[in-house]
């Protein structure tokens, strides 16, 4: 039980730090707050509503990992390093892919709701 409690505290601390230091995290948390009620309007089934919220959580997860990579890379060196730049670009690309997945999921659900699919 002690390990679970420590893990919960670490999770909270990481989320708090990321929220305070990164605009993208704040924006995605806001998107999550919007996604929950909107999923009830757009989702045609309970499973679809869950998918809509889960895909925003996936996006937030990828953004948190990208932020961690960037913070670690910045800690290693403040000098411009082409390899670190590529690593940061790959993290950014992962966020971009997650955004596309989220967007496609929400567009499909909206199309389903209005009867296109």
**Catalytic center residues:** 63
60 by Cβ neighbours in 10 Å (0-12 / 13-18 / 19+) ranks as buried
* Residue 56: closest CA among 69, 72, 42: 42
């Amino acid at each position: 039980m002690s390990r679970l409690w420590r893990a919960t505290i670490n999770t909270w601390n990481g989320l708090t730090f990321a929220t305070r230091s990164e605009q993208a995290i704040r924006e995605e948390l806001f998107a999550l707050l919007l996604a929950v009620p909107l999923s009830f309007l757009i989702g045609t089934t309970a499973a679809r509503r869950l998918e809509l919220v889960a895909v925003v959580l996936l996006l937030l997860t990828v953004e948190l990992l990208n932020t961690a990579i960037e913070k670690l890379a910045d800690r290693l060196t403040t000098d411009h390093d082409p390899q670190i730049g590529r690593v940061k670009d790959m993290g950014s690309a992962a966020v971009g892919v997650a955004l596309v997945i989220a967007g496609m999921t929400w567009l499909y659900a909206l199309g389903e709701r209005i009867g296109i699919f």
